[in-house]
Structure 1
Amino acid sequence: MATEDLSVILPRVLIVSRRSLRKNKFVDFVGEYHLDLIVAYGAVPVIVPRVTGVHMLLDSFEPIHGVLLCEGEDLDPSLYEAEASGLSPEELEEVRRLHASDTAIDKEKDTIELSLAKLCLERNIPYLGICRGSQVLNVACGGTLYQDLGKEVTKNCPENQRVVHIDYDNYDGHRHVVKVVENTPLQQWFKDSLDEGRMEIWVNSYHHQGVKRLAQRFVPMAFAPDGLIEGFYDPDAYNPEEGKFIMGLQFHPERMRKTNSDEFDYPGCPAAYKQFVKAVVAYQKKLNSSSSVAKPLKLGKEMEEKRRTILRSFSLARNIYAGGHGMNPSKESELEAGAEFLESNTALSMQQEKRLKQMGATVRNASSYFDRLKLNDQRERLATSVMGKMSVEQLSDLMSFYHMMGEICSDMLEKKLHEIVNELAS
C-alpha cells in the first residue's frame, strides 16, 4: 500500500506543542518518545502548534480520533480555585524562583489544550494526559490543583511520608514509589511487576504541582506516599476495544527507561500508549461507520422546501419544549406543518412517533401540549431551587452533560427526519 494511502487510513492523534526559547527565538516541540510510541502502535501524530489564534482554528484539524496532551508550564491559577491554596505573596514569589522554567504562564497553550480536553469530553474522543496533560483534564472537569506541592503538601506531611516530586540535579534518574490501586487499568498494565501484597512501582517525577481535588467523574489509580494522586481515569469512559479512553497520569511512563538505554523500567510502561492507540483506532472505525451511511436521495425543489418547513416546525417545537416559556403567537402558524405531518397515519411508524415525542418534537394536540408547557414552568421553578443549592463543580458537570445531550438529540432528530422524508420521496 502506498504511503499516501496509509496517511488517509491511519487515525489521527492531536498533540499540542510546547514553546521554548532557543537562540533568542521561540521554537515549538513535542517530546520524541511520545511521537515514537504513537506511530509504533498504529496512529499518526498531528502536532498542533502553540501559536496565537490556533484555538480558533481547531475545526481545521478534523477529523480528530484522539488527543494526547503532555508536558508544559503551569496552568494559569485563575482557571481553578487557586485562592484556596493559602500561599502568601512571598511564598508564591519563592515558588517562582525555585521553578522558574515552569511558572511562566502560557495562556495560549492553556486555551488550546482546555478546548481540546472539553471537545474530547463532549464527543468521547480518546484522551491521554501525561503530567501537565493530566492536570488540564482534571481542571477541565472542575477539579483543582496544588499551586506548589512543597508548600502545600510536603511541609504538612510526617517525615516518613514526604516525597521529592522534582529533582533538578537528577532530572531523568529521579524516582519515587507509588501505590497502585487494585482493579484499575494501571494494575492490569503493571501486574507482572507488582510484588504480591505491596502493589508498588517506582515512577519518575518532574513536577511541582498536582491534583488537589479530583473531579467527581474520575477514580484514582495510584497514590504517592504523601497522598498525591499520581494517576486517574474515568471508568465509564474506559474500554479501549470500544474506542473509550479518558485518563491522566502524573508521571511519564514513556521516559521511565534504564540509564543510557531505551529499555523500559517495567514491561508495562508503554501500555498506556498501546491501549490509548487501540482506543483511537476503535474510535476511528466507529466514527467512519456512523458517517458512512448511504447518502439521502436528492429531493426535488418542492419536496426540499417541504422538508425544510417541517424541520423548522420541529425545531421550533423543540425550543419551546426545552425553554418551557410558551410561545410568541406569531410563531404558532409555523407549528402547523409539523402538526399536520404528525397527524398523517402513513408518515410515521409508532416507534418513530414515540421517539419524536420523547425528544419534545411533537406538536400534536395543541391544547394538551401547552398544558405541558405550564407544567414545565412548575418544574423549572423546582429545578431552579434545587440547582441553587448545588456547587459550581456540580453545575458545571450538569451543564456539560445537558449540552452534550442536546447536541445528540438535535443530530438524531434531523437524521430521522431525513430518513422519513426519503421514505416519502421513494
Structure 2
Amino acid sequence: MASTDLSTILPRVIIVSRRCVRKNKFVDFVGEYHLDLIVRYGAVPVIVPRVAGVHRLLDSFEPIHGVLLCEGEDIDPIHYDVDSATALTDEELEEVLHAHASDTAVDSEKDSIELQLAKLCLARGVPCLGICRGSQVLNVACGGTLYRDVGKELRHSVEHINYENYDGHRHAVEVMEGTPLSEWFGGEEEIMVNSYHHQGVKRLAERFVPMAFAKDGLVEGFYDPAVYDPAEGKFIMGLQFHPERMRVNGSDEFDYPGCPRAYQSFVKAVTAYQKKVNSSVNPMVAKPKMDQEMEKKRRLIVRCFSIAKNLYDLRHDGSVEAVSNRSDLEAGAEFLESNTALSLQQEKRLKQMGATVRNSNSYLQNLKRIQEREAMARKVVGKMSMEQISELISFYRMMGQVCSEVLERKLVAS
C-alpha cells in the first residue's frame, strides 16, 4: 500500500521535538523509543519542530488524533504559581543551575507549543500522554504547580537523577491499586523506575488522581479517571518516569512487561478517537435535511443513475428500461460535471452503479444501433428455414470455440 494511503488510514500522534546544540548548530530530535512504540502499536508520529513561531501554526498539523508530550528543559515558572513561602533563594537557584546545567535552561517556544497542545487536548478530548517533562506540562496546563527543584524543596532521601548512571539508575515507587498503572504492571504494589528529573509535581491539578508515589511522597504518575477509557478514545495521563527506557542493560528487553503498555493503551485511545472523529464528519452518518426542491433533484439524479446502470448493463434479450429522450440522463451528467472533486471511492462507486452518463448521447445512439441491428437480425432469421437456423447456431458455436483458443494462444505468447 502506498504511503499516501497509510497517512489517510493511520491515526496521527503529534510530538514536539527537543532542541540541542551539535557542532555549533541547533538540532531538533525526539527519542527513538517513543517513536518505535507509537509505530509498533499502529499510529503515525508527526514531529512538530521546535522553531520560532510554530505555536501559531499548529492548525497546519491537523488532523490531530493524539498528543505525546515528552522530555525537555525546565518549564518557565511564569506558567504556574510559585509558593512564596517555600520559594528558593537566589543562592539556592544558582546552586540548582550549576547542578543541573543541561536541564535548567528555559525553552519558551517549546513551552508555548506544548501548553497550547495540552489545552487543545483538554478542550477537545484528544488523547494525551505526558512523559517526564510532559507530565509536568500537563499538570501546569490544568492549573497544578511544580517544585523548582525536588532536592532543595522536598529535602528528600530519594535520588531522582544520577548523572553517573543515567540509564541504569532506578528508585522504588508505590503503585496505587485500581489505577491503569496497577493494571499494566499486573497488580504490583511496588516497582523500580528510572528517573531523569530534578523538578516534579508539587500541587497536583484537581482533575487528576495519583497513580504512583516515590518514597519521598513525590507524585510519579497521575491520570484523569473521568476521561480514561481507551476503547472509547479517552486518555489523559502523566508519568514522571520513562517506561519506554526501562530496559535491561544492553538489550531491548523491558524491565517489566507492563512498561510498553502505557503506549499501547495510549495508541488504542488515539485509534478510537480517530474513528469517532471520522464518523462524526461522515455524511452517511449525519445526513443533512433536504427541502422539497432538493429532494426532487435527488430523486431525479437517482433515476438518472438507474437508467445509466441499465444502459451500462445492456442485456442481450433487449430488456432495457425505455428512455423517452436524452433529458432523462441530463441530470446525472450535470451532477458529474459539477462535482469534479469527487473522491476516488465516490468515483469507483459511481462506476459500479453504471453512472456513465457524461456520454449519455453516445449511449443512446449505441442503444439505438443495437435495437436496429437486433430488429434486422430477427427479420433475416425469421425468413430462414429450421435447417439453416440450426447450421447457423453450430457455425457460431464453432467460431466461439476457435476464437477462444486463438485468444488463449496469443495471451500466452505475449
Q: Scaled by the length of structure 2, what TM-score is found?
A: 0.68
| Structure 1: distance between partners of 2:2 and 2:54 | 31
**Residue 173 (structure 1) aligns with:** 168
**Residue 136 (structure 2) aligns with:** 135
| Structure 2: distance between partners of 1:32 and 1:178 | 25
| Structure 1: distance between partners of 2:275 and 2:8 | 13
| Structure 2: distance between partners of 1:243 and 1:251 | 24
**Residue 284 (structure 1) aligns with:** 274
Change (3 A) 1:299 1:114: farther
**Residue 418 (structure 1) aligns with:** none
**Residue 192 (structure 2) aligns with:** 202
Structure 2 alignment gaps of length 5 or more: 294-414
Report Cα offsets for 1:120-162 as digits up to 9, x if no partner: 0000000000000000000000000000011001x2x5xxxx1
| Structure 2: distance between partners of 1:94 and 1:113 | 28
**Residue 212 (structure 1) aligns with:** 202
Alpha-carbon offset, residue 83 of structure 1: 4.6
**Residue 247 (structure 1) aligns with:** 237
**Residue 106 (structure 2) aligns with:** 105
SS at match of 1:47: strand
| Structure 1: distance between partners of 2:277 and 2:107 | 33
Alpha-carbon offset, residue 300 of structure 1: 12
Q: 2:246 aligns with which of 238, 252, 256?
A: 256
| Structure 2: distance between partners of 1:97 and 1:23 | 23
SS at match of 2:265: helix
SS at match of 2:15: strand
SS at match of 2:45: strand
Higher relative contact order (CA 8 A, sep 6+): 1
Report Cα offsets for 1:46-86 as digits up to 9, x if no partner: 00000000000000011000000100000001111125342
Q: 1:184 aligns with which of 175, 179, 186?
A: 179
Identity percentage of aligned residues: 74
1:114 aligns with 2:115: yes
Change (3 A) 1:227 1:284: same
1:230 aligns with 2:230: no
| Structure 1: distance between partners of 2:20 and 2:290 | 53
Structure 1 alignment gaps of length 5 or more: 302-426
AA aligned opposite 2:81: E
SS at match of 1:45: strand
| Structure 1: distance between partners of 2:289 and 2:60 | 29
After TM superposition, the structure 1 = structure 2 runs for residues 4-403 of structure 1, keeping only pairs within 5 Å, are 4-84=4-84, 85-153=86-154, 155=155, 157=156, 162-191=157-186, 194=188, 199-294=189-284, 296=288
Aligned length: 290
SS at match of 2:33: helix
| Structure 1: distance between partners of 2:218 and 2:6 | 42
Alpha-carbon offset, residue 4 of structure 1: 2.2
| Structure 2: distance between partners of 1:7 and 1:54 | 22
Q: Scaled by the length of structure 1, what TM-score is found?
A: 0.66
Alpha-carbon offset, residue 191 of structure 1: 1.0
Give the aligned CA root-mean-square deviation in angstroms: 1.5
AA aligned opposite 1:134: S
Alpha-carbon offset, residue 3 of structure 1: 3.0
| Structure 2: distance between partners of 1:16 and 1:98 | 26
**Residue 354 (structure 2) aligns with:** none
| Structure 2: distance between partners of 1:296 and 1:42 | 33
| Structure 2: distance between partners of 1:35 and 1:300 | 53
Alpha-carbon offset, residue 98 of structure 1: 0.4
AA aligned opposite 1:109: K
